[in-house]
Structure 1
Amino acid sequence: MISEELLNILVCPKCKGDLEYREKEQKLVCHKCKLAYPIVDDIPVMLIDEAEKIDE
């Protein structure tokens, strides 16, 4: 589980926009860029090249 403090400071590395935490999927989603950043072993992988493109 990611701490609330960390979630408050994380932003999308591509557009610097807000991220939505999806606990069940273990992803951080940027709706503006339509990218989902994975969370591996409770550590967000905030690399644009590792992000998954999503359709909303």
Structure 2
Amino acid sequence: MDHHLLEIIACPICNGKLHFDKKNLELICQTDELAYPISNGIPVLLESHARDLSSLEKK
């Protein structure tokens, strides 16, 4: 994931910072406890495509 892109994109719900999960190819919003998928290198920042973080993933 391009570091410059991570600096300018934000969670579509809270406008908070997203963190890249390299293992699962997802962008994580800890505030909303959601993980947004990355499909073919493109972040899918739609709430309907996000998954809830498991209790183990929450910080």
TM-score after normalising by structure 2: 0.87
The one-letter code of the counterpart of 2:21 is R
Paired residues, number: 55
Structure 2 equivalent of residue 36 of structure 1: 35
Residue 5 of structure 1 and its aligned partner are, at CA, apart by 1.0
Residue 45 of structure 1 and its aligned partner are, at CA, apart by 0.2
Structure 1 equivalent of residue 2 of structure 2: 3
Name segments (4+ residues, structure 1) moved above 6 Å. Answer: none
Identity score, percent? 38
Structure 2 equivalent of residue 18 of structure 1: 17
Unaligned runs of 5+ in 1: none
Unaligned runs of 5+ in 2: none
TM-score after normalising by structure 1: 0.91
Q: Write the distance in 2 (CA, Å) between the matches of 1:24 and 1:54.
A: 14
The one-letter code of the counterpart of 1:23 is K
